Amino acid sequence: MLWYTGKRLLQMIPVFFGATFLIYFMVFSLPGDPISALYGERPPSPAVIAQIRAEYNLDKPFVVQYLLYIGNFFQGNLGTTYSGRSVSEVMASAFPITARLAMLALAFEAGFGILVGLIAGLRKGKLFDASALVVSLLLISVPTFVVGFVLQFVFGVQLGWARTTVSGAAPWDQLILPALVLASVSFAYIVRLTRASVSDNLNADFVRTATAKGISRPRVVTVHVLRNSLVPVITFLGVDIGSLMVGAIVTEGIFNINGVGGTVFKAIRLGEGPTVVSFIAVMVVIFVLANLLVDLLYAALDPRIRYAK
């Protein structure tokens, strides 16, 4: 196990270089000159633009830009934004907020999703199952910006139960509503996944064996059915961490949360290579760790899964 974990951690190195290279190249390939665009319809003189381009190394060929970035990266300098702020400072303010939001969303989608999926799977074809299907369909078909807007309007404006927008410090309680919105689409996935696995496993021989042995129904459901149904759900959750963090652009926008998604999105639009790459580099590490955790959980959930060497 230790060996396996160590090997996986080592794999982070090529992934880090691969991802940063790819993403730096993509930002480099974005159409348009980011510096000219900063000034909107009123361009300053070409010499002014040329100087700023040089300041951000934008005048150099791609490979040089990338190497300069990587070189600085390992000296702890992640570059600066066009507003003169160091990228590490931006990260330090955005990541904790996003981490809180993503954790809450993950808890909501896992908690509610597995519960609803479990009941739907146990009562396949019944009213609860049908209602869960309708809700899932609704959440799939209605884009996040609509779900977010409606929840914000109903709970924030009309009922006044929650703040309509999140304050700068973004404490946990203010993030509940945004986390629900963020969790909405993945909720549908988890309900359907859990329901499918549960209904499959209900028919499995080991469940019938367990029932025949006289084990109580709740124990059969939780220990035998649910535990064996969780592998795909856990996998999905592991993959979803990424979308919850970087992909929360719309939710962050609606609730004015100063998080990773919005910052990366803004940096993409501005063509700020160092910002985008630094954020994504951290995200890559989070991915690799999340996936490693998921793989280790497999072994815990299903003793037949063993990792060689």
Partner 1 sequence: MPSKNHGAQPHFVAAFEDTPLVAIDRLDETEKARSTWADAWDAMRRRPTFWISSGLIVLILAVALFPALFSSVSPTQCQLSNSNGLPQSGHPLGFTFQGCDVYSRIIFGTGASVTVGLLAAVIVTLFGLIVGALAGYYGKWLDAVVSRVGDIFFAVPTVLGAIVLLSVLPDRTPVVIALVISMFAWPQVARIMRGAVLTARNSDYVVASVALGVSKFKILLRHVVPNAIAPVIVIATVSLGTFIVAEATLSFLGIGLGPGTMSWGRDIGEAQTSIRTSPQVLLYPSIALSLTVLAFLMLGDVLRDALDPQARARR
Partner 2 sequence: MLALALASTGALALSGCASGGATSGDGSAIITTNGSEPQMSLIPTNTTEVGGGKIITSIFAGLVSYSASGEIQDEVAQSIESDDATNWTVTLNDGWTFTNDEPVTASSFVDAWNYGALVTNAQGSSGFFDNIVGYTDVANTKDDPTGATDDSGAVLQIPDPLAQTMSGLTVVDDTTFTVELAGSEADWPLRLGYAAYSPLPAVAFEDMDAFGQNPIGNGPYELAGADAWQHDVQIDLVTNPDYAGVRTPANDGLTIIFFASFEAAYAALQGGDLDVLDAIPESALANYESDFPDTFVNEPAAVFQAFNMPYYLEHWSGEEGKLRRAAISMAIDRAEITDVVFQGTRTPATDFASPVIDGYSDSLKGSEVLEFNPEEAQAKWAEADAISPYTGTFDIAYNADGPHQVWVDAVVNSVKNTLGIAAVGKPYPTFAASLDDRKASTLTGATRAGWQADYPSLYNFLAPLYQTGAGSNYEGYSSAEFDTLLKEGAAASSVEDATAKYVEAQEVLLQDLPTIPLWYQNTSGVWSETVSNVEFGWDSVPLYFEITRN
121 versus 274: smaller Cβ distance to partner 2: 274
Q: Is residue 209 close enough to count as binding partner 1 by CB under 8 A?
A: yes
The site partner of 262 among partner 2, partner 1, none (C-beta below 5 to 8 Å per kind) is: partner 2
Q: Is residue 29 close enough to count as binding partner 2 by CB under 8 A?
A: no
The least distance separating partner 2 from the CB of residue 94, rounded to whole angstroms, comes to 8
3 state DSSP class of 86: strand
Identify the DSSP state of 80: B
Q: Which of 197, 263, 275, 278 binds partner 1 (CB under 8 A)?
A: 197
Strand partners, 86: 80
39 versus 153: smaller Cβ distance to partner 1: 153
Residues 227-246 that bind partner 2 (CB under 8 A): none
Q: Which of 110, 224, 259, 274 binds partner 1 (CB under 8 A)?
A: 224
Measure the CA angle with vertex 234, ends 231 and 236; round to 5°. Answer: 110
Residues 150-169 that bind partner 2 (CB under 8 A): 152-153, 156-157, 160, 163-165, 167-168
Q: Is residue 253 close enough to count as binding partner 2 by CB under 8 A?
A: yes
Q: Which of 63, 206, 216, 217 binds partner 1 (CB under 8 A)?
A: 206
Q: Is residue 83 close enough to count as binding partner 2 by CB under 8 A?
A: yes
Q: Residue 216's closest CA among 227, 225, 229, 204?
A: 225
Q: Residue 57's closest CA among 83, 90, 79?
A: 79
Q: Residue 136's closest CA among 186, 200, 197?
A: 186
Length in residues, the chain: 309
Question: Which residues, 6 or more positions from 177, have their beta carbon under 8 angstroms from its beta carbon?
Answer: 151, 152, 155, 156, 162, 163, 255
The least distance separating partner 1 from the CB of residue 54, rounded to whole angstroms, comes to 24
Q: Which structure tokens are listed for 32?
A: 């348009």
Q: Which structure tokens are listed for 291?
A: 């996936």
CB of 87 within 8 A of CB of 94? no
Q: Is residue 147 close enough to count as binding partner 1 by CB under 8 A?
A: no
Q: Is residue 55 close enough to count as binding partner 1 by CB under 8 A?
A: no
- Contacts with partner 2 by CB under 8 A lie at 30-34, 36-48, 50-52, 55, 59, 82-85, 89-90, 93-94, 149, 152-153, 156-157, 160, 163-165, 167-168, 252-256, 258, 262-263, 266, 269, 271
